[in-house]
Chains A and B, each alone.
Chain A
Amino acid sequence: MSTFLQFFLHWLTSPAQWSGPDGVPARVGEHLYYTLLALAVAIVLALPVGLYTGHTGRGGFLAASIANFARALPTIGLLVIIVQGLGIGLLPPLIVLVALAIPPVLINTYEGIRNVDAELKDAARGVGMTGTEVLFRVELPAAMPLILLGLRTAAIQIVATATVAAYVGLGGLGRFIFDGLSRQDYQALAGGTVFAVLLALAVSLVFMLLRRLLVPRGVRLQEKA
């Protein structure tokens, strides 16, 4: 562990790491870009499906089964196969990252909406709300903690896995890891790894803040009780 720390500190303090296209800031930027892009695509694809299936109770099992299948795909294997068809570029790693992020987003949204207290839904309809109003004004806020948990899981998995983008010639923190491995430059390897972990921690923090902002006070109080 101490050698790992030495590697990391030595690498961190060398000025070459802090500027240019191979520097830490540029690589962290690329990494965040891949992460946000993949997360956004996953949300656009999975959130509506989760809301719909959870609200109507229709097709939920099928959607969850497909999502679970996607979760079982080995990332690097899938990436290599996609590159055979599409060539290198941003699309192949984006596809595998989205495939990784869809299951937690979809399943948590579906379960969250489906498990909202039936009496609550009845009451909402009782006061004259339409189906859409029930979904967005009652079910969605009540399911928010679980949905955010799904998004957080997805985001952390993407941050950790976006390193594979470097395997097909792109940038990101994986560049330090793959280059370090093949050039036996273990300082770069240690540096890339530590920054990927730090980024995952930062993502966790962001979601803690989002939770404060997006989960209604009533739901939070209920959770505590």
Chain B
Amino acid sequence: MRKLIGLTSLGAAALLALSACGGGTPASQSTAKASSGQVVVGSANFPENVLLGEIYAQAMQGKGVKVTKKLNIGSREVYFRALKKGELSMLPEYNGALLTYLDPKASATTTDETNTQLKSKLPSGIVPLDSAQAEDKDSVVVTKETAQKYKLSTLADLKPVAGKMVMGGPPEFKTRKQGVVGLKSEYGINFKSFKSLDTAGPITVSALSKGQIQAANLFTTDPAVLTKGFVVLKDPKNLFGAQNVTPVVNDKVVPANAKQIMNQVSAKLTTDELISMMKQINVDKDDPADVAKEWLKKESL
């Protein structure tokens, strides 16, 4: 099973790498404009975003909205342009990542700040709907044993004990603000050392669970948090910013009832729910469409 997880993560990494290259995608080839009343749902080409696309699309379909799905589209450059041009009418976005894309110098940290700035940076006609509580962002995680031993629940708790801990993560985590640099300046955390590993992949997970590193940089929706019982340390100073799941829509073509349905979905979507759905997809190999359907049924949406 472990092998399988490793291979999937590799596959996901390869997909991410490919997506960075952009290239021809269904959306960029399509010239059809979304007609009024018909909601064209897009998504990026990594499993979590496809799942989110399915969730919002199926929720609308279930309430009688006409929906077309164009999921699994390459990079943000491609699918966001498709939204502006009207080839797509809705995207399940992450507020912080989209804001940084629109304004690389943006400095918002909380969810509210991020959404306020996002609204002012979005092109006219494109609006964000309500943000979900669910966030997919960088975090520092430790094993359950380490958390109990040092009584850790937030990053602030790390300060007195970090000197005994080796931190592991992708090489860039060592040099950027939202990483070792910010952990030191914001929380006063000085790790014993830093080990450059992979980006929230099988190497990092394996090193943490075997105790070769004591803290690791993983994403908050990583299924390993569930399967390995890792503890995600809270970030009270918002060093890692806000990355709430936030649908953005083309205001003209998406009817009011569809927006309302999406807001109802977002209201129920938490990080924990997203982690357990990602476990079904990455570990149990379930189809994102089925996972989405099951969750909507459970939440009676």
Contact residues of A with B, CB < 8 Å? 76-77, 80-81, 83-85, 87-89, 166-169, 175, 178-179, 181-183
Whether B3 contacts A169 by the Cβ 8 Å rule is no
> How far, in whole Å, are A179 and B171 apart by their CA atoms in the complex?
5
Q: Which residues, 98 to 151 on B, are CB-close (under 8 Å) to A?
A: none
Known: A169-B168, A178-B171. A80 touches B196 (CB 8 A): no
- Produce 1/0 per residue, B5-16, CB < 8 A to A: 111001000000
Whether B3 contacts A183 by the Cβ 8 Å rule is no
**B172 / chain A contacts, CB cutoff of 8 Å:** 182-183
Q: Which residues, 169 to 191 on B, are CB-close (under 8 Å) to A?
A: 170-172, 175-176
> Does B212 sit at the interface, judged by CB under 8 A?
yes
In angstroms, how far is the closest chain A Cβ from the Cβ of B1? 10
In angstroms, how far is the closest chain A Cβ from the Cβ of B235? 22
> Does B199 sit at the interface, judged by CB under 8 A?
yes
**B2 / chain A contacts, CB cutoff of 8 Å:** 84-85
Known: A88-B197, A183-B172. A77 touches B203 (CB 8 A): no
Q: Which residues, 78 to 92 on B, are CB-close (under 8 Å) to A?
A: none
**A183 / chain B contacts, CB cutoff of 8 Å:** 171-172, 175-176
In angstroms, how far is the closest chain A Cβ from the Cβ of B69? 32
Whether B6 contacts A88 by the Cβ 8 Å rule is no
> How far, in whole Å, are A175 and B197 apart by their CA atoms in the complex?
10
> Does B202 sit at the interface, judged by CB under 8 A?
yes
> Does B206 sit at the interface, judged by CB under 8 A?
yes
How many interface residues does chain B have, given as a range? 20 to 34
Known: A77-B10, A178-B171, A182-B171. A84 touches B196 (CB 8 A): no
Whether A87 contacts B196 by the Cβ 8 Å rule is no
Which residue, A76, A175, A179, has most C-beta atoms of chain B within 10 A? A179
> Does B210 sit at the interface, judged by CB under 8 A?
yes
> Does B198 sit at the interface, judged by CB under 8 A?
yes
Which residue, A76, A77, A181, A183, has most C-beta atoms of chain B within 10 A? A183
Known: A89-B212, A179-B196, A183-B175. A84 touches B168 (CB 8 A): no
Given contacts A84-B6, A88-B195, 18 further A-B contacts (CB under 8 A): A76-B10, A77-B10, A80-B6, A80-B202, A81-B3, A81-B6, A84-B2, A85-B2, A87-B212, A88-B197, A88-B206, A88-B213, A89-B212, A166-B196, A169-B195, A181-B171, A182-B172, A182-B199
> How far, in whole Å, are A89 and B197 apart by their CA atoms in the complex?
11
Whether A84 contacts B3 by the Cβ 8 Å rule is yes
> How far, in whole Å, are A63 and B19 apart by their CA atoms in the complex?
42
> How far, in whole Å, are A180 and B198 apart by their CA atoms in the complex?
13
> How far, in whole Å, are A169 and B206 apart by their CA atoms in the complex?
12
**A87 / chain B contacts, CB cutoff of 8 Å:** 206-207, 210, 212
**A77 / chain B contacts, CB cutoff of 8 Å:** 7, 10
**B195 / chain A contacts, CB cutoff of 8 Å:** 88, 169
**A84 / chain B contacts, CB cutoff of 8 Å:** 2-3, 5-6, 202, 206
List, sorted by A's number, 24 A–B pairs whose CB atoms are closer than 8 Å.
Answer: A77-B7, A80-B6, A80-B201, A80-B202, A83-B203, A83-B206, A83-B207, A84-B2, A84-B3, A84-B6, A84-B202, A85-B2, A88-B195, A88-B203, A88-B206, A167-B203, A168-B197, A169-B168, A169-B195, A169-B196, A169-B203, A175-B196, A178-B171, A182-B170
Q: Which residue of A lies closest to B210 (CB)?
A: A87
Q: Which residue of A lies closest to B173 (CB)?
A: A182
